[in-house]
Structure 1
C-alpha cells in the first residue's frame, strides 16, 4: 500500500497525488497566466484609449482598444489547452481515492462480524465522485476566477497605485473575515454530511426490512425513524445556509466598497491630478468588470466548493484502510501441521450466547475431517477461527503447537488456506488466477491441478489457461468460480486447507472429485459439509449439535448419535446416489 504523508488521510492523499502530478499543475498555471492576459491589459488599454478619445485622437483610441482582440484570442487558446491537463490531473486523483475507499471497505468487511453496510459503501463511493467533480470545478472555474482576481489587482497597481492600495486593504479585510468563518462553516458542512449519511443508512435499513415491518404492523414506526433523520438533515442544511449568508456581506466590503470610494473620490483625484479621466475609467473597469464579480464568485461559489472538498476529503479519509505497518515480529510457521483446539469459546457480542462453547479437539497432520450440523450452528464460525480470521473469546488454536495468533500473518496465510463459499476471481487470465498463490508453478503443476479439481470443461469453454476473465468472474457461473478458487489453493503451498462449503455450487460428482483431490494432496483437510456425502468421504466427522459435539467416524456416529443418524436419514431420503460414483476416500 502507498505511504501517505502525515495529517488527515484524505487531504494528505490529495496533496500527495497533486504533488505527483506537479508537471500538470505547472502547465495549468502557465496556461492560466496566458488566459488572464486580457484581464491584466483591459484596464490599461481602456484607460489609454479613453485619454486618446478625450484628446480627439480617435484612431489611436480605436487602435488601443483593438489590441484587446488578440489578447482575447490568446486567452481562448489558453483555455482550450487547459482541458487535457485538467483531465490528466483530476482523473488519477479520483482513481486513487476510489482505490483507498475500496481497500478500506474490504478491510472493514474482513474484520467485521456483522453484515457489511452497503449503503455506507455506496455513499462513500458517491463522495469520491463528489471530490472529483469539486476538484475539477475548482481547477476549471476557481482557477480562472483567482487568476482573474490577481491579474486585475496587478493591472490596478500598474494603473492607479493609490486606488489599488485602498482596494487591497479592503480585500485583505474581507479574506481575513472569511478565514475566521471557514472553521465554523467546515464544522457545519461536516455535520450536514453526516446527517445525509444517516438518512441513507436509515432509509436503507427500512427498505431492506420493509416486509418484516409490514408483517408486524410497524410501518409507521419505521417511517418515523427515517423522518427524524430527514428532519435533522433539513435542520443542519438550514443552519449551514444561514452561516453561509454572512459571507455575502464580504462581497460588499472587498468588491463594491472600493468602487464606491473611487466614485466619491474622483473629483478630488482629478483636481489634484492624481489620476486622469482615462485612469479613473480604467480603474473602474478593473473594479466593476473583474474584481467585484471575481470576489463574488470566490465568496459565493469557491467557499462552498472548497468547504465541500475539505469535508468530503476528511470524511473519506476516515474510511481509508490504515497504512500497512511493517509486519510485527512473530513466530515462523512450524514444521508440522496438526491443529489443536483447546477450550475454544466464541461469541459475537459481550452479552450474546456463545456460538461455540469450550470446544476441544485435535486434527492430526494429514487428517481429513468433515464438520456437519444444522444451519447457523457455528460451522463457518469454526472455520474462520481455525483460519485465524476471528479471534477466540476464550481458549486457543495451535498449529503445530504454536498459537495461530502468534504466527506471522504472511506465514500463516502461506501455511493455511480457507476457501469460502463466496469464491472470488481476479480480473486477468485463468493462469494468473490459478498461480496467484504459487507464482513458481510449472506447466506440469498447472495441468495436474486442472485435472485434479475438474477445471478441464471450463478451460475448453473459454479457450485455455490464457483466456481472460472479468473482475469477480462476471462471465463465470458460481460453480466455475468455485473451481477456480479450488484450483488456486490446490497449487498453493498451504498444508492445511479448510473448505467452508467451497463446493456448494458444484454437482455431487464434481464436489466428490474436488474433495478426493484435496484429501490425496499432502496436508490436512477440513471440510465444512453441506452434503452428508462429504462426511462419508472423511476419515472423521465432527457434529456440532447445540451445546454438544460428537467426534468419530461416519459409521461410529451413525451408531452413537441419534442427531447424526437423523441427519443421515434425511439426506438418504433425498435420494442422491450419484455422489457415490467416486471412491469414498483416497487410497
Structure 2
C-alpha cells in the first residue's frame, strides 16, 4: 500500500480548512516557545547567575522562562478553537464522500454481476467505524503529536544554538533512529492493513449470513455459518497478534534516538567542561532539551506513529479506495432515450446472494404504457424485489428489463429517474417546507399544479392544519402521522411528470377510503400505475393482477384469477376476513 492515495484524500478534504490550519500552525509555534528557550535560559541562569554568585540574575532568567511558559499556555489555549475548525468540517466532508462511495459500490454489487467485488458489510464498516476513526485519529494527532513534535523540533533548534557538538550527536542519533523506524514501518503498515481487511471480512460474512438466515435455517447450515464467521474472527485475531509483535521496533528506536545521545552527553560532560568546550550551564541546558523536549517527542512519535499515525494512514488509504470511482466496463453504444413507456421484464432471475434461492425465477412480464397493474402474493414471494427491479434499482443476475424497448442499464440515469417513480412503504419526508417536500420531483411546479395534486390525493386538510405550503416540516415529519406522511409522498408522485409510478405498499397506513382515492387519482392522471397491493381492494381496482407465488406467476384480471387460482381465492378470503 502506498501513502499517496491516503495523502490525496486527506488533502482534498482539508483544502477548505487552510486558514484554520495556518492559525493552528501559528499558535503551535507560540506554544513551543518555552521548549525552544528553556535550555538557553537555564544555561544563562546557571552560568551568569548562580555559578557567578549572582542569584538575582539567575532568578531573573528563570522568571523569563516562567513568562514564556505563560505565553506557551496562551498558545495552547488558542489552539483548540482552530483545532475544532479543522477537524469537524473534515468529518462532515469525509463522511459524505465515504457514504457516496459505499452506496455506489453497494449498488454496483447489487446491480452488477454476482462476482462484483466489494460487499455491503465492508461499506457499513467503513461508514460507521472508519470515517469516524479518521476524525478521532486526526484530532488526536493534531492535538498531541503536533504538540510533541513541535516541542522536539524546538528542542533540537535550541540545543543547536546552545551547544553545537551535543546537537550534532543528537541529530545523528535521531536520524538513524528515524531511518530504522521508517525501514520497519512498512511491516507495521502491511500488518495493520491486514487487521482492517479482516475486520471488514467479519462484517461481510456476518451480513451475508444474516441476509440469508432463512436459507441457513432451512438447510440446517448453522454450524457451517458459525464456522465461516469464526474463521474470519480467528484470522483477525492472528493479524492483531502479528501487528503487536511488530510494535517491538520501538525498543531499539528509543534506545538509539533518545537514550544514546543523553548517555553520551552525561558521560562526556566532565571532560568537555574541563576542556572548556562546554559550560556547566550548557550541559544542564542540553540535558534539559534532551529530557524535556526530545525524549517525549521521540516516545510519542514511536508510540503514536506505530498506532495513531499508522492507523490514520491505513484507514485513510482504505477509505481512498472506497471513495475512488469503481472501474466500470465500457458501455456498449445504445439509445439514451425511450420513445415509449412500455415496461417489459424478460426471463428475470434475481437472488440476494450467490448461495441464496432466487426471489424471482425466470419471470417475464409485459406492462403496456397506461396499464393499471396490481401485484399480489404471500409474504416473501418477491413483490418488493420486483418493484426494485422494474424501477432499475437492482439488476437481475439473469434476464433484463426494458422501458420502451430500451434496456434500463442503457438509459440515461436522469431520464430513468424522471420516467419511473417508486414510492416505498417508508415515507421519506425531509426537513424543509411542505412545498419543498411536495415539489421534490418537480421543483418548478406552479401553485395551481400543487393545489391539483393536494386535492386529488385529499391532502388539503393536512396542508391547512400545518399552515400552508410554506410551513416548516422538521426532520422525520414532526407532527405528521404515518398516514399523512404517505399522503405527502403520494401527492409528490402525482405532481411528478413520471409516466410510470410504482407504489410498493405505499398506502399501508391509510384507511381503505383514502387508499382508494389516492390510487384512483394516480391512475386517472395518466401513465402506468403498478401497485404492490396491501389490500385486496387494490387488486379489484386494477385492470390486471399479477399473482406471485414463488413458482408459477399468474397474470389476469381479478375475476379470472379468483376463478382459476386457489391461492388467489385463499388470499382474497384472508384479506376479506
Q: Using structure 2 for the length normalisation, give the TM-score.
A: 0.87
Tell me whether 1:156 sits opposite 2:136 in the alignment: no
Shift of 1:523: 1.1
Partner of 1:583 in structure 2?
none
Partner of 1:322 in structure 2?
325
1:379 to 372, 380, 383: 383
SS of structure 2 residue aligned to 1:145 = helix
Partner of 1:307 in structure 2?
310
State the alpha-carbon separation in 2 of the partners of residues 217 and 323 from structure 1.
Answer: 37
Seen in structure 2, the aligned counterparts of structure 1 residues 416 and 233 have a Cα distance that, compared at 3 Å, is: closer
Shift of 1:472: 4.2
Tell me whether 348-357 or 214-223 shows the greater mean CA deviation. Answer: 214-223
State the alpha-carbon separation in 1 of the partners of residues 161 and 227 from structure 2.
Answer: 63
SS of structure 2 residue aligned to 1:503 = coil
Partner of 2:505 in structure 1?
501
Tell me whether 1:143 sits opposite 2:139 in the alignment: no
Partner of 1:584 in structure 2?
none
Seen in structure 2, the aligned counterparts of structure 1 residues 338 and 301 have a Cα distance that, compared at 3 Å, is: closer
Partner of 1:524 in structure 2?
528
Contact 2:347–2:364 under 8 Å retained in 1: yes
Contact 1:370–1:542 under 8 Å retained in 2: yes
Partner of 1:20 in structure 2?
16
Shift of 1:227: 6.1
Tell me whether 362-371 or 165-174 shows the greater mean CA deviation. Answer: 362-371
Shift of 1:373: 2.5
State the alpha-carbon separation in 2 of the partners of residues 463 and 36 from structure 1.
Answer: 59
Tell me whether 1:293 sits opposite 2:290 in the alignment: no
Shift of 1:355: 4.3
Residues 516-566 of structure 1 show CA distances to partners (whole Å, capped at 9, x for unaligned) of 011011211122223221111112222334443433332333344444344
Partner of 1:132 in structure 2?
135
Seen in structure 2, the aligned counterparts of structure 1 residues 386 and 130 have a Cα distance that, compared at 3 Å, is: closer
State the alpha-carbon separation in 2 of the partners of residues 413 and 211 from structure 1.
Answer: 33
Tell me whether 1:408 sits opposite 2:404 in the alignment: no
SS of structure 2 residue aligned to 1:67 = helix
State the alpha-carbon separation in 1 of the partners of residues 364 and 291 from structure 2.
Answer: 83
State the alpha-carbon separation in 2 of the partners of residues 477 and 132 from structure 1.
Answer: 37
Partner of 1:181 in structure 2?
184
State the alpha-carbon separation in 2 of the partners of residues 360 and 198 from structure 1.
Answer: 36
Contact 1:453–1:517 under 8 Å retained in 2: yes
Residues 404-453 of structure 1 show CA distances to partners (whole Å, capped at 9, x for unaligned) of 23211111111111222233222222221211110101111111112222
The correspondence of residues 294-443 of structure 1 with structure 2, limited to 5 A, is 294-320=297-323, 322=325, 331-348=335-352, 354-443=358-447
Tell me whether 356-365 or 26-35 shows the greater mean CA deviation. Answer: 356-365
State the alpha-carbon separation in 1 of the partners of residues 411 and 300 from structure 2.
Answer: 59
Shift of 1:461: 4.2
Shift of 1:253: 0.9
State the alpha-carbon separation in 2 of the partners of residues 400 and 219 from structure 1.
Answer: 46
Partner of 1:57 in structure 2?
54
Partner of 2:114 in structure 1?
none
Residues 242-297 of structure 1 show CA distances to partners (whole Å, capped at 9, x for unaligned) of 21122132112111211111122223322332222222222222122221222122
Tell me whether 450-459 or 169-178 shows the greater mean CA deviation. Answer: 450-459
Contact 2:107–2:394 under 8 Å retained in 1: no
The correspondence of residues 154-303 of structure 1 with structure 2, limited to 5 A, is 154-197=157-200, 231-303=234-306
Contact 1:338–1:365 under 8 Å retained in 2: yes
SS of structure 1 residue aligned to 2:89 = helix
Contact 1:438–1:493 under 8 Å retained in 2: yes
Shift of 1:13: 2.6
State the alpha-carbon separation in 2 of the partners of residues 200 and 546 from structure 1.
Answer: 30
2:63 to 50, 63, 66: 66
CA RMSD of aligned residues (A): 3.4
Partner of 1:580 in structure 2?
none
Tell me whether 437-446 or 417-426 shows the greater mean CA deviation. Answer: 417-426
Tell me whether 163-172 or 286-295 shows the greater mean CA deviation. Answer: 286-295
Partner of 2:116 in structure 1?
none
Query: Which structure 1 residue ranges, 5 or more long, are not aligned?
Result: 1-5, 575-587
Contact 1:415–1:495 under 8 Å retained in 2: yes
Partner of 2:81 in structure 1?
84
Tell me whether 389-398 or 419-428 shows the greater mean CA deviation. Answer: 389-398
Shift of 1:230: 5.1
State the alpha-carbon separation in 1 of the partners of residues 559 and 216 from structure 2.
Answer: 47
Seen in structure 2, the aligned counterparts of structure 1 residues 14 and 569 have a Cα distance that, compared at 3 Å, is: same
Seen in structure 2, the aligned counterparts of structure 1 residues 308 and 409 have a Cα distance that, compared at 3 Å, is: same
State the alpha-carbon separation in 1 of the partners of residues 483 and 79 from structure 2.
Answer: 50
Contact 1:98–1:125 under 8 Å retained in 2: no
SS of structure 1 residue aligned to 2:307 = helix
Tell me whether 83-92 or 121-130 shows the greater mean CA deviation. Answer: 121-130
State the alpha-carbon separation in 2 of the partners of residues 216 and 395 from structure 1.
Answer: 27
Tell me whether 1:539 sits opposite 2:543 in the alignment: yes
Shift of 1:483: 2.1
Q: Using structure 1 for the length normalisation, give the TM-score.
A: 0.86
Contact 1:248–1:299 under 8 Å retained in 2: no
Aligned residue pairs total 565
Residues 57-100 of structure 1 show CA distances to partners (whole Å, capped at 9, x for unaligned) of 33322222221122111111111111110000010111122222
1:481 to 481, 485, 488: 485
Contact 1:333–1:415 under 8 Å retained in 2: no
Contact 1:51–1:278 under 8 Å retained in 2: yes
Shift of 1:476: 4.1
Seen in structure 2, the aligned counterparts of structure 1 residues 400 and 11 have a Cα distance that, compared at 3 Å, is: same
